[in-house]
């Protein structure tokens, strides 16, 4: 990482650094939020931040009080009311954009771990490529369903398929059921895959996991008509060592970084001990960067900082 020294606070800009072994990994994992930071900077320099407001739908204009604020601003010139619509639109845009991108970071971390610490010789970076591997194993064209992460050990004919949620206290029953949509399609084919498959349902943040029982119940109810497994047996085993759903199809659910690491280790044949510390090591590697928060703060104020943004831009 390239640290810029000056009379103010040090900044670490990942998009400015030379591509050495460390920064290539970090920038690959943080690719999606870095793209958001860059987009904010471009909007700021082009003076187009107000254009974000034009993307708001009509519902937000009356439900978010934007019509009222604009009317007050026009009739009274009240500066706070004039400021509100643009600020509302900016925060709406940023938070919505970031929410999707944080999941991409988690997926990239798992892709890196499968590539570096397991026997996987094929670790696709898109859901379409992952689905193609599954389709080839079943000799069946699956519908276009999402896969968060997949590793394929072609030598030993092993596939680990990971469906990931960042946390489990958000999303309703539909979201929980969607975790096993692809599994349901696998069962419905009545085909035996050519590879051993571990279908791993993972929740990254294990805090406030009161929904764990609810998630297990929803998973079971989603597939109970397709399997011949007792409900009690299913619920007692899915969050432990997993459960055999069909020939060559195994299902397991894990909560938290440690359990995710354990599951990948258990699945891997070579049992690389570095897997246990891999996630925490990667987090330590990628946690020190300033691109996004500086871009956010400057965009929020709607101004270009004489150092932070211009230095970022000139070197990018």
Backbone angles phi, psi at 13, to 5 degrees: -105, 110
Model confidence pLDDT, tens digit, residues 67-115 = 999 999 999 999 999 989 989 999 999 999 998 899 999 999 999 999 9
Model confidence pLDDT, tens digit, residues 113-130 = 999 999 999 999 999 999
Q: What angle do CA 257, 213, 209 make, to 5 degrees?
A: 40
Number of domains in the chain: 2
Give the single-character DSSP code of 122.
Answer: B
Rounded Cα distance, 184 and 199, in Å: 11
Tell me if 166 is assigned to some domain: yes
Tokens of 150: 């997949």
Give the three-class secondary structure for 177. Answer: helix
Tell me if 210 is assigned to some domain: yes
β-strand pairing of 11-12 with 3-4: antiparallel
Q: Which residues pair with 255 in a beta bridge?
A: 203
Model confidence pLDDT, tens digit, residues 207-240 = 766 778 888 999 999 999 999 999 999 999 999 9
Domain coverage including residue 69: 3-102+288-315
Backbone angles phi, psi at 51, to 5 degrees: -65, -25
Same domain, yes or no: 35 and 97: yes
Rounded Cα distance, 2 and 71, in Å: 48
Tell me if 165 is assigned to some domain: yes
Same domain, yes or no: 197 and 255: yes
In the predicted structure, residue 46 carries a pLDDT above the cut 50: yes
Sign for the CA dihedral angle at 109, 110, 113, 116 comes to negative
Same domain, yes or no: 133 and 197: yes
Same domain, yes or no: 308 and 265: no
Model confidence pLDDT, tens digit, residues 8-33 = 678 888 877 777 888 889 999 999 99
Give the three-class secondary structure for 160. Answer: strand
Tell me if 60 is assigned to some domain: yes
DSSP 29-67: HTHHHHHHHHHHHHHHHTT-GGGGGGG--HHHHHHTTHH
Same domain, yes or no: 133 and 210: yes
Q: Which residues pair with 203 in a beta bridge?
A: 165, 255
Contact 298, 305 (CB under 8 A): yes
Same domain, yes or no: 130 and 241: yes
Model confidence pLDDT, tens digit, residues 161-211 = 999 998 876 655 556 678 999 999 999 999 999 999 999 999 998 876 677
């Amino acid at each position: 990482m390239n640290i810029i020294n000056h009379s103010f606070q040090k900044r670490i800009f990942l998009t400015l650094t030379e591509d050495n072994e460390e920064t290539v990994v970090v920038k690959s994992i943080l690719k999606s939020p870095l793209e958001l930071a860059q987009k904010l900077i471009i909007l700021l320099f082009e003076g187009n931040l107000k254009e974000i407001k034009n993307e708001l739908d009509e519902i937000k204009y009356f439900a978010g009080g934007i019509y009222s604020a604009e009317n007050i601003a026009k009739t009274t010139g009240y500066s706070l009311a004039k400021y509100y619509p643009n600020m509302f639109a900016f925060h709406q845009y940023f938070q919505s954009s970031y929410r999707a991108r944080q999941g991409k970071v988690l997926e990239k971390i798992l892709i890196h771990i499968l590539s570096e610490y397991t026997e996987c010789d094929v670790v696709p970076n898109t859901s379409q490529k992952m689905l193609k591997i599954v389709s080839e194993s079943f000799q069946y064209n699956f519908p276009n369903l999402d896969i968060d992460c997949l590793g394929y050990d072609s030598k030993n004919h092993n596939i680990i398929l990971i469906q990931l949620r960042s946390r489990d206290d958000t999303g309703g029953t539909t979201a929980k059921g969607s975790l096993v949509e692809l599994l349901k399609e696998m069962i419905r084919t009545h085909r035996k895959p050519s590879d051993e498959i571990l279908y791993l349902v993972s929740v990254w943040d294990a805090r406030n996991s009161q929904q764990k029982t609810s998630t297990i119940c929803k998973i079971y109810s989603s597939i109970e008509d397709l399997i011949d497994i007792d409900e009690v047996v299913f619920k007692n085993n899915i969050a432990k060592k997993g459960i055999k759903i069909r020939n060559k199809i195994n299902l397991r659910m894990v909560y938290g970084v440690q359990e995710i690491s354990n599951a990948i280790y258990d699945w891997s044949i070579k049992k690389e001990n570095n897997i246990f510390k891999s996630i925490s090591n990667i987090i330590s590697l990628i946690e020190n960067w300033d691109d996004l928060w500086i871009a956010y703060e400057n965009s929020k104020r709607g101004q270009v900082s004489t150092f932070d943004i211009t230095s970022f831009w000139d070197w990018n």
